[in-house]
């Protein structure tokens, strides 16, 4: 019920109820007086009237009864107005005072169907939303602090390694061509990992600031995938990983930002290399055209991801227990960047995995960015 209706009802009650009560009490009073004091009746031709000695008594009693009726009505109206209007207003005032002071601890409790109770519920929803946002903000600040710590560690580790191998070459420890080539390949791999971390940080910063610009061009998506994994052939071979491909022999033109999607594929392939199990590993890259678009799949035979970690691997700064408990460099941005870039292309990315058996990551691009060509390669 609206506040206006409640106030109108209160006004009507205050006006009508006392009048009705006074009339009823007056009739009752006169009747009782006639019964108790029969001598008070004086019969005249036109009716029965009170004799003069009892008129004053009647007026006094009527006045007392009238005051009693008004008081009872006022108490009832006050209770009604207080319960339905004043109490919610008090809670609203208290809640707003807490919010004004930046205190989100005041919790609204109660029930009702009035506009004021709905306002109370809205304020409570606002408080809970602000509380969630504050917690998210605190978590994000903590994540950023941890990111700085991780960056310093993750960059320092390969730099230390590079210095060690350079000193080995300079001091003549690498005294054979085979050793020197091994040292140089290791230095190159470490430098590449630093470059990838810096590039991920640059992309993340642009995404956070809303300054990421996409330069989309029409590209043969399957040919583009081939060029991407060819760039990592040396890294895959150096990591004892076999590469298997299953790419359709058909041209599918997609409107994509090649550099951004190259980063997506690079992050996925690099993760497969990072979390390879001891011994020989395998990475299979496949793709298929569906009724709704194109799916690209990256399946490795690595260490896999635990069920409890799987739903969170695309979250910013998230590192699974396996990543946190190993010496693998990383800051938890790679897959979150993949998700943001794929989403900005109108697509989806998801993962399936089982600890100890490997991980399967799929990237879907919808029909809206594709133009199928009947001409085969």
Task: Give the tens place of pLDDT for each residue, 285-298.
Answer: 999 998 889 999 99
State the pTM of this model.
0.56
pLDDT confidence of residue 176: 84
Statement: residue 328 has pLDDT above 70: no
pLDDT confidence of residue 45: 40
Handedness of CA 337, 343, 344, 347 (dihedral sign): positive
Statement: residue 209 has pLDDT above 50: yes
Average pLDDT over residues 72-96: 68
In this structure, of 33-47, 86-100, 216-230, the range with the lowest mean pLDDT score is 33-47
Print the SS3 string covering 197-214.
HHHHHHHHHHHHHCCCCC
pLDDT band at 371 (very low <50, low <70, confident <90, very high): low
Tell which wins on pLDDT, 145 or 40: 145
Average pLDDT over residues 172-191: 83
pLDDT band at 7 (very low <50, low <70, confident <90, very high): low
Measured from the Cβ of residue 312, the count of other Cβ atoms closer than 10 Å reads: 14
Among 260, 263, 261, residue whose Cα is nearest residue 271: 263
Beta strand pairing call for 41-44 and 370-372: unpaired
Beta bridge partners of 293: 366
pLDDT band at 325 (very low <50, low <70, confident <90, very high): very low
Print the SS3 string covering the chain.
CCHHHHHHHHHHHHHHHHHHHHHHHHHHHHHHHHHHCHHHEEEECCEEEECHHHHHHHHHHHHHHHHHHHHHHHHHHHHHHHHHHHHHHHHHHHHHHHHHCCCCCCCCCCCCCCHHHHHHHHHHHHHHHHHHHHHHHHHHHHHHHHHHHHHHHHHHHHHHHHHHHHHHHHCCCCCCHHHHHHHHHHHHHHHHHHHHHHHHHHHHHHHHHCCCCCCCEEEEHHHHHHHHHHCCHHHHHHCCEEEEEECCCCCEEEEECHHHHHHHHHHHHHHHHHCCCCCCEEEEEEEEECCCEEEEEEEECCCCCCCCCHHHCCCCCCCCHHHHCCCCCCCCCHHHHHHHHHHHCCCEEEEEEECCCEEEEEEEEEHHHEEECCCCC
Statement: residue 354 has pLDDT above 50: yes
pLDDT band at 211 (very low <50, low <70, confident <90, very high): confident
Tokens of 150: 């991780």
Statement: residue 52 has pLDDT above 60: no
pLDDT confidence of residue 159: 85
d(CA 341, CA 216): 12
Decide: 356 and 300 in contact? Cβ < 8 Å.
no
pLDDT confidence of residue 349: 95
d(CA 218, CA 159): 39
Domains, the chain, ranges and CATH? 3-106 (no CATH), 149-209 (1.10.287.130), 217-372 (3.30.565.10)
Decide: 270 and 234 in contact? Cβ < 8 Å.
no
The overall average pLDDT reported for the chain is: 76
Tokens of 55: 């008129």
């Amino acid at each position: 019920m609206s506040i206006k209706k409640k106030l109108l009802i209160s006004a009507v009650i205050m006006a009508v109820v006392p009048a009705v009560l006074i009339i009823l009490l007056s009739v009752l009073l006169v009747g009782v007086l006639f019964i108790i004091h029969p001598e008070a009746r004086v019969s005249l031709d036109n009716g029965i009237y009170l004799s003069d000695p009892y008129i004053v008594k009647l007026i006094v009693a009527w006045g007392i009864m009238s005051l009693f009726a008004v008081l009872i009505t006022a108490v009832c109206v006050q209770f009604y107005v207080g319960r339905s209007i004043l109490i919610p207003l008090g809670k609203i005032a208290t809640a707003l005072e807490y919010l004004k002071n930046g205190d989100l601890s005041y919790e609204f409790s109660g029930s009702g169907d009035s506009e004021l109770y709905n306002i109370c519920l809205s304020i409570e929803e606002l408080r809970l939303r602000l509380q969630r946002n504050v917690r998210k903000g605190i978590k994000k600040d903590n994540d950023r602090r941890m990111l700085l710590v991780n960056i310093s560690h993750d960059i320092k580790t390969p730099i230390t390694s590079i210095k060690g191998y350079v000193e080995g070459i300079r001091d003549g420890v690498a005294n054979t061509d085979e050793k020197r080539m091994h040292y140089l390949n290791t230095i190159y791999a470490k430098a590449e990992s630093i470059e990838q971390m810096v590039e991920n940080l640059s992309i993340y910063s642009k995404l956070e600031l809303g300054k990421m610009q996409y330069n989309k061009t029409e590209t043969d998506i399957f040919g583009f995938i081939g060029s991407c994994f060819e760039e990592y052939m040396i890294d895959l071979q150096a990591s004892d990983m076999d590469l298997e491909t299953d790419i359709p022999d058909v041209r599918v033109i997609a409107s994509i930002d090649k550099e951004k999607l190259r980063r997506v594929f690079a992050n996925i392939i690099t993760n497969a290399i990072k979390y390879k199990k001891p011994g020989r590993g395998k990475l299979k890259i496949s793709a298929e055209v569906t009724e709704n678009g194109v799916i690209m799949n990256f399946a490795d035979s690595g260490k896999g991801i635990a069920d409890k970690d799987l739903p969170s691997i695309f979250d910013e700064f998230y590192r699974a227990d396996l990543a946190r408990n190993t010496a693998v460099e990383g800051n938890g941005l790679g897959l979150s960047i993949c998700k943001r870039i794929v989403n900005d292309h109108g697509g989806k990315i998801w993962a399936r995995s089982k600890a100890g058996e490997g991980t399967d990551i799929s990237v879907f691009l919808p029909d809206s960015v594709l133009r199928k060509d009947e001409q085969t390669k």
